[in-house]
Amino acid sequence: MNLRGIAKAYLGVLTILGLLMILVPLVDVIYGEPVSIWFLVVGEALVFIGLLASKIKAPPLASLEALLVAAIGWVSVSFIGAAVLKLQTGLPFIDTLFESVSGFTGTGFTVFNLMGMKHSIIFWRCLMQWAGELGFVVFAMVLIPYFYGVAKNLYGVERPVKIEASFYRTAAQLLVIYVVLTLAGSVTYVAAGMNFFDAICHMMTTIATGGMSTYNDGYQHIFLSAPLTYIPVFIFMILGGMNLYDLYNLTTGRFKALLKSEELKCYLISLLVISSLVFASYVLVDKVHNLWYAFIASFFNNVSGMTTTGFSIGSIAKLSDTTKALITIGMVIGGMSFSTAGGIKSFRLLLVLKKFKNSVESLVAPPTAVKPIAVGGRVVNESDISHAMLFIIIHITAIVSGAVLISSYGYALSDSLFEAASAASCVGLSAGIVAPTAPAGVKLTIITLMILGRLEYLHLIFLASLIFGKKILALSRPQSMM
């Protein structure tokens, strides 16, 4: 095994974490608050270690090695972030670990009381989501000179699609798009009524489909004081759940290519259909008589769930089981492939629907009349469909298993399923179970689901590959559109 290459790539990921940590004391200086010394010390130490790593001579990583770095990197980044938060805030480690995992996985659950917390720590929570959802590998590819040479395959694990001729140019283009959308969204948020700090923080977690807020009651606080923010937040949630390749076509004016995207059509239709059903449930089951509020809240909350953003209007906990079940279905589906969103992804859903249609046609039509399954003009082979179905089975199994564990602590099974789906799909909407007072076992269950969902169960496949052989790694290799 290429231990030098693994070490060099892994330390490159930690270098990005260090650079991000150094931003925290800068925010302290801006707001005239006590400097977050632990973020400064650990951040500088990680950057220094990264500089030393540049001296290591190593060949590029193989697929198995890249998978190992991805699995170890995501877990260790969360633990390092949690340790620094613990040292800086003095809060229990289980809570800082929960917050760190929720942040880096882009989930958006929180067990912190934000009242009186420094601007820099609130900013850090949002920055974790912004960086974590695009991926540390993308940042490392662009910002660390030695990283590209040793870890090109690691990019394939994190972001399996190229929109430019090389992985480096692809990563650079993605970063530019991400930053431009963040800045543009922040301007619209300010124009709609947010203050500058809230706008930056909420935009980072909107485009990252993360959902962490600057207030204990989340986006609801913003909505009550500046209701017009609903419009840009709603729009950017949908954009955040889009395939980054489609976002590239959108921002570069390649509308013809954008309109050909079958996954985009499936994504938008799913959003519309399930949101309409949630609206009907608000009116008919929850008896919300204010139709305008029911329309706004139902569409916003479901789009937030399906794009796995995690903002909410009103109390999710007070909704009926029917409404929560519909939102749960949306969270399980999630956003588009090659996006910052979680869930099974629209592409996998599209494959399963096409497979179902194809199977029905094969029962009533002669074999020669049944066309092969294709998406975007590309014929999809049976192994791709099998991989999609396997992922869906694993995802649903993880949700059900997590829900059973959570319900064993006395919570209703319907609420437990909602919370488990929200965690495994990295959403962050809560039915009221996630709280500072939640049992440690519940927090650990949700932490596990968040990590599994963000990694898309890669480390499970890695372990299976060690037991059954490397061929099983094909299941973890995202296809060109997945």
Other CB atoms within 10 Å distance of the CB of residue 169: 14
pLDDT band at 459 (very low <50, low <70, confident <90, very high): low
Instruction: Say which amino acid occupies 21.
Output: M
Mean pLDDT of all residues in 454-481: 56
Nearest to 80, CA basis, from 26, 131, 15, 17: 17
Identify which of 391-395, 442-446, 450-454, 467-471 has the greatest average pLDDT: 442-446
Question: What is the C-alpha to C-alpha distance for residues 171 and 153, in angstroms, rounded to an integer?
Answer: 13
Nearest to 452, CA basis, from 391, 388, 407: 391
Whether the CB-CB separation of 186 and 199 falls below 8 Å is answered with yes
For 274, phi and psi rounded to 5 degrees?
Answer: -70, -35
Q: Which residue has the higher pLDDT, 479 or 144?
A: 144
Whether the CB-CB separation of 298 and 307 falls below 8 Å is answered with no
Looking at residue 326, its pLDDT comes to 98
Buried b (16+ CB within 10 A) or exposed e, 101-131: bbbbbbbbbbbbebeeebbbbbbbbbbbbbb
pLDDT band at 480 (very low <50, low <70, confident <90, very high): very low
Residues contacting residue 329 through CB under 8 Å, at least 6 positions apart:
274
Distances (CA, A) of 236 to 173, 225, 320, 422: 19, 19, 27, 20
Question: What is the C-alpha to C-alpha distance for residues 102 and 124, in angstroms, rounded to an integer?
Answer: 12
Mean pLDDT of all residues in 188-192: 98
Looking at residue 263, its pLDDT comes to 93
Looking at residue 230, its pLDDT comes to 97
Looking at residue 470, its pLDDT comes to 52
pLDDT band at 402 (very low <50, low <70, confident <90, very high): very high
- Site of tokens 């929960």: 98
Residue pLDDT, tens place only, 377-396: 788 888 888 888 988 999 99
pLDDT band at 206 (very low <50, low <70, confident <90, very high): very high
Residues contacting residue 65 through CB under 8 Å, at least 6 positions apart:
1, 2, 5, 6, 153
Residues contacting residue 293 through CB under 8 Å, at least 6 positions apart:
none
pLDDT band at 110 (very low <50, low <70, confident <90, very high): very high
Alpha carbon 10 to its chain centroid, in Å, reads: 21
Looking at residue 432, its pLDDT comes to 94
Mean pLDDT of all residues in 196-206: 97
Residue pLDDT, tens place only, 143-170: 888 887 887 777 666 666 666 767 788 8
pLDDT band at 479 (very low <50, low <70, confident <90, very high): very low
Q: What percent of the chain has pLDDT over 90?
A: 70
Whether pLDDT at 351 is above 70: yes
Question: What is the C-alpha to C-alpha distance for residues 320 and 322, in angstroms, rounded to an integer?
Answer: 5
Three-state SS at 211? coil
Looking at residue 477, its pLDDT comes to 45
Question: What is the C-alpha to C-alpha distance for residues 111 and 13, in angstroms, rounded to an integer?
Answer: 27
pLDDT band at 137 (very low <50, low <70, confident <90, very high): confident
The reported pTM is: 0.91
pLDDT band at 375 (very low <50, low <70, confident <90, very high): confident
Whether pLDDT at 426 is above 50: yes
Question: What is the C-alpha to C-alpha distance for residues 214 and 201, in angstroms, rounded to an integer?
Answer: 7
Looking at residue 430, its pLDDT comes to 96
Q: What percent of the chain has pLDDT over 70?
A: 93
Q: Which residue has the higher pLDDT, 456 or 213?
A: 213
Q: What is the widest separation between alpha-carbon atoms in the chain? A: 75
Mean pLDDT of all residues in 324-345: 95
Residue pLDDT, tens place only, 283-312: 999 999 999 999 999 999 999 999 999 999
DSSP state of 435: S
Looking at residue 135, its pLDDT comes to 86
Whether pLDDT at 481 is above 50: no
Helix/strand/coil (H/E/C) assignment for every residue in 361-410: HHHHCCHHHCCCCEECCEECCHHHHHHHHHHHHHHHHHHHHHHHHHHCCC
Domain map (residue ranges) of the chain: 3-240
